[in-house]
């Protein structure tokens, strides 16, 4: 849903996806669940473009509850632009779309606090090497 809002913003809304035969597929997603919120709480999402190339966008999003200033969740995603008329093969962004992605990337000033993370426990936790009998 937040990805839909991003697609709307760069000009790939539902109508454009259909008429152009293009869409964005998620290749990879990383989500941090930071705080619980009550069901039904209104949320807002702030999205920024961390990087892009001819066919891919590295998108970063933070979700906030109501007027909160601390994110309740954060996500980064690698999205691939595909031609849905041709078996969903990867495709170069149209110029107008690429222009809007570039503008979002240029405007991305905020620190992406939860991007670039690797999932793991601190050393000292139990791992297969540590739990296997000698």
For binding to its own copies (CB under 8 A), which residues are involved? 25-33, 36, 49-53, 56, 58, 76-78, 88, 102, 105-109, 115-121, 124-128, 131-133
In the bound state with its own copies, the residue whose beta carbon lies nearer, of 21 and 116, is: 116
CB 131, min distance to its own copies, A: 4
Distance between CA atoms of 61 and 73, rounded to whole angstroms? 8
| Ramachandran quadrant class, 26 (left: phi over 0; alpha: psi -120 to 50; beta: rest) | beta
CB 75, min distance to its own copies, A: 9
In the bound state with its own copies, the residue whose beta carbon lies nearer, of 15 and 113, is: 113
The tokens describing 107, both together, are 């405007």
Distance between CA atoms of 41 and 62, rounded to whole angstroms? 15
In the bound state with its own copies, the residue whose beta carbon lies nearer, of 15 and 40, is: 40
- Tokens 């969740």 found at: 73
CB 39, min distance to its own copies, A: 14
In the bound state with its own copies, the residue whose beta carbon lies nearer, of 52 and 64, is: 52
Distance between CA atoms of 88 and 58, rounded to whole angstroms? 19
């Amino acid at each position: 849903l937040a990805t839909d809002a991003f697609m709307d913003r760069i000009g790939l809304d539902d109508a454009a996806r259909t008429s152009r035969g293009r869409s964005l597929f998620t290749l990879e997603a990383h989500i941090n669940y930071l705080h619980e919120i009550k069901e039904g709480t209104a949320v807002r999402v702030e999205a920024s473009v961390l990087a892009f190339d001819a066919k891919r966008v590295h998108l970063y999003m933070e979700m906030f509850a109501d007027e909160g200033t601390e994110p309740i969740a954060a996500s980064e995603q690698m999205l691939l632009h595909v031609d849905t008329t041709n078996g969903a093969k990867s495709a170069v962004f149209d110029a107008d779309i690429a222009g809007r992605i570039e503008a979002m990337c240029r405007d991305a000033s905020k620190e992406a606090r939860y991007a670039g993370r690797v999932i793991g426990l601190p050393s000292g936790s139990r791992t297969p090497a540590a739990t296997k009998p000698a």
